[in-house]
Structure 1
Amino acid sequence: MPEKLRQILFFFIFSIAACYTSYTQPIIKETPAASHINTIQFLTDAEFAGVPILKIGEPISIAFDDTTGDESDYYYRISHYNFDWTPSALYKNEYLDGFDEIRIVTYENSFNTLQMYSHYTLNIPNEDTRRLKVSGNYLIEIYDDDDEVVFSRKFIVYEPLTTVKVYTKRSRDLKYINTKQSVQFEINSAREILRNPKQTVKTLVMKNNDINRGITNLKPQFTIADKLVYKYDQESSFWGGNEFLFFDSKDIRASTVSTRRIELDGIYHNYLYPNIVRANRKYTYNPDINGNFVIRNLDAEDNNVEADYVWMHFFLECYEPLDGGKIHLYGNFNNYTLDESTLLEYNEKDAIYYNKRLFKQGFYNYKYVLLRPDGTIDPGFISGNFDETENEYTVIPYYRAPGARYDRAIGKGVANSANITN
């Protein structure tokens, strides 16, 4: 075989193998928390609903409770990922200064609570894990002595190399002008030359930091000098939704504006007032914290270990046909995960949907969503969709320079739909 033909054949086979390898890379998904793991929090200078977004070099703390209360040993593992959440090509020492797979040594047992639990805190940096060297997507896994992952969470580390200006607009399609919010933005890269941006620059657009329902397929429409411009309408639009509902259990022994009845059976049970379908009603402004939660006990000096757990009872009056769908609780209290603990069952006797779930004392946002048989979530079926709804939108640009081996997160932009314009 001639040498030139051999080289062409080798290049062709190598290209096919590279494409196949790239295609078969698994996309990582978060591991939902085990039944005994509760109240997972990322504690940073800013409180996040959903996926945390950190500037490179910023410290981070992760806290969680084990309600078995037996002081079990837990360990952590950190991995780096590409923009699409496939494993990156970096070796661990290229993105991590120090070591992981280390036991979490900071924990305390609950004090003066009816529900016993152990409260764990992981701080990064620490003497073993000194810093994260590069930007991009990360996953942290918490696992036990049997190497079983009890939960994992995504987070994003970015470099402030670009300026991202974000705007919220009402839809230009009259069909959706009262129900959708469009996100438009500009990426100014004065400090970084972005070569061939339609191929090398990718963007993540999130509503209320819910990464599972973010938009990731947008390319720059045009460039002006060192600015990339994204002025999409429907392609970058989100359903407006409605303001989150809330309950406040800082005093689990007293009725509040949201709690109608209290019982003590082992631990406290709080019964909330029934909620109603808001989709067929006019929008009413009600301040919220965009799905987030805050732990607090009115009588505690240290909320981490003195806040108790309480069974919260939810009731929803809904007479709309579900067509095979299921109604779930939805919020950052469990990282926007829909599972058996969030499912509402229909009580035929009382003609109402009902759920009971364990929460640590605090202030919580929640809403009801419909999980359709095809696996899609309809956030407005119960709550409705309104262009006036206050939502926070975040845009993260990623850049992989020609020849680079990983996707860098190179900025962050935030806008609030309270400032929405036509």
Structure 2
Amino acid sequence: MIYTSYRFFKIVVLFLLVSVVANAQVQQEIPPPYHIKTVSFRKNNENVYPYFRKGESFQLTFDDLYGNEANYYYSITHCNYNWTPSSQLTINDYISGFDNQRIQIYENSFNTLQIYSHYTLTIPNQFTRLLLSGNYILKILDEDREVVFTRRFIVYEELVSVPLQIKRARGMDEINEKHNLDFSIKSSTINFQMPLQNVKVALFQNGRFDNAIYNVKPQYTIGNDLIYRYDKETQFWAGNEYLFFDNKDVRNAVNNVLRITAGEVYNNILYVNEARANVPYTYFPDINGKFLVNNINLNVTNVAVEADYAWIFFSLSAPAYYSKKDIYVCGMFNNYAKTEENRMEYNEKTATYEKAIMIKQGFTNYMYIPSDKNGVLDEKNAPDGNFFQTENDYTILVYYRENNDRYDRVIGIGSANSENIIN
């Protein structure tokens, strides 16, 4: 009897430990399958970085190339600063209403070669309103409540100011290749408790999560101001201006499109991109990785469902060094996902890297990102190089958890552009 009770006790303890470990897992973004395209957060009819002021309205939109009006559902989980679920919160703490609802707004494509269903989820909506600031993971589920894909987003409050200045790197080896973020956190309403432990920051370049910087502590304080003036810890590789193609007229070869061929959908073959790492920096405007869906046909009234898809053929001429690396075509259009769908293949006959990706027509920024076989980025050796003159958007989000709080609040945001870089 005692032995049986002991076994039961061990099983219960093991179950609780497994539950704790599962809840503590970092919530990574799960890329969508092939038939889900053009996933984007939107605000005021524009594609935007995934940071939203508490209480403001935004949308998540995506296309399903099956075009069969499938039922999709959504769930939302609040996360800690390190993207583990906020285990001390219940769903009622951060959601007014409930999630696990069907996405009710969808339309079918019209007058396109590639059929698709276009879905729009608006937050807040009649079922769901977010109550707290912080990190969130949004899961899109199918009819069987299996996860189709996930996306991170961040809700912030404006309780502190975050003055930010972009500077050139301090080290002579990196002065021409990196951007350094010099910033502070100022508040007249919050007296920070134990700021070295309770205040955290996250630094972002062009809305990317894959190269974000975390776990930087305040260097020192002046009164209640927290000062961050590091030489190394807050630096990003500057990269180069994004490449682009413009196929808002999907049947015309213009704006970096070399030629068009016909198929089930149009094939847009781009000019070969020459690696720019060893040539002088050349400025040309970009939109920092974003994309704009567009169709200039005179009869189009709603590009969300009247823009077509095309196969985009990318080619990169780069040194043989990269044959030992994986190179991906990335941008906001695919959330910088390092997946097989976006990984380039080396053509020994032409000595170029090649990839065809189906993308919705319009104006699209993209870049080439190398990584090792373990998925670790190699931005230092990016095919297009790193130049301090590159114009990038930078964002800093400030997290704060007082000693008795149960979750990490996001209490402020700061942003700047490296166009105004100083020495």
**After TM superposition, is the score higher than 0.5?**
yes
Question: TM-score, normalising length from structure 2?
Answer: 0.92
Per-residue CA shift, 1:16-69, capped at 9, x if unaligned? Answer: x99x9589821110111011110011111384555x101100011111100000
Q: In structure 1, what is the Cα distance between the partners aligned to 2:173 and 2:346? A: 33
Quick one: which of 202, 205, 208 aligns to 2:203? 205
Q: In structure 2, what is the Cα distance between the partners aligned to 1:110 and 1:24? A: 39
Q: CA RMSD in A?
A: 1.7
- 1:171 corresponds to 2:172: no
AA at the equivalent of 1:349? K
Q: In structure 1, what is the Cα distance between the partners aligned to 2:174 and 2:23? A: 38
- 1:373 corresponds to 2:376: no
Q: What is the match of residue 395 of structure 1?
A: 396
State, as a whole percentage, how many aligned pairs show the same letter: 46
Matches within 5 A, 1:183-332: 183-299=181-297, 300-322=300-322, 324-332=324-332
- 1:363 corresponds to 2:388: no
Matches within 5 A, 1:61-210: 61-88=59-86, 89-129=88-128, 131-210=129-208
Aligned length: 403
Deviation for aligned residue 1:323: 5.8
AA at the equivalent of 2:286? D
Helix, strand or coil for the counterpart of 2:341?
helix
- Asked if structure 1 preserves the Cα contact closer than 8 Å seen for 2:310 and 2:360, the reply is yes
Deviation for aligned residue 1:151: 1.0
- 1:409 corresponds to 2:407: no
Q: What is the match of residue 36 of structure 1?
A: 35
- Asked if structure 1 preserves the Cα contact closer than 8 Å seen for 2:244 and 2:365, the reply is yes
Q: What is the match of residue 382 of structure 1?
A: 383
Deviation for aligned residue 1:218: 0.8
- Asked if structure 2 preserves the Cα contact closer than 8 Å seen for 1:49 and 1:290, the reply is no
Q: In structure 1, what is the Cα distance between the partners aligned to 2:41 and 2:228? A: 31
1:137 and 1:24, CA in 2 relative to 1: closer, same or farther beyond 3 A? closer
Q: What is the match of residue 3 of structure 2?
A: none
Q: In structure 2, what is the Cα distance between the partners aligned to 1:242 and 1:27? A: 31
Q: In structure 2, what is the Cα distance between the partners aligned to 1:338 and 1:248? A: 23
Which of 261-270 and 377-386 deviates more? 377-386
Q: In structure 1, what is the Cα distance between the partners aligned to 2:208 and 2:70? A: 31
Per-residue CA shift, 1:284-334, capped at 9, x if unaligned? Answer: 011111111111111121001000000001111123322621221111111
Any runs of at least 4 consecutive aligned residues in structure 1 with deviations exceeding 4 A, and if so which?
20-24, 46-50
Deviation for aligned residue 1:222: 1.3
Helix, strand or coil for the counterpart of 1:211?
coil
Deviation for aligned residue 1:149: 1.1
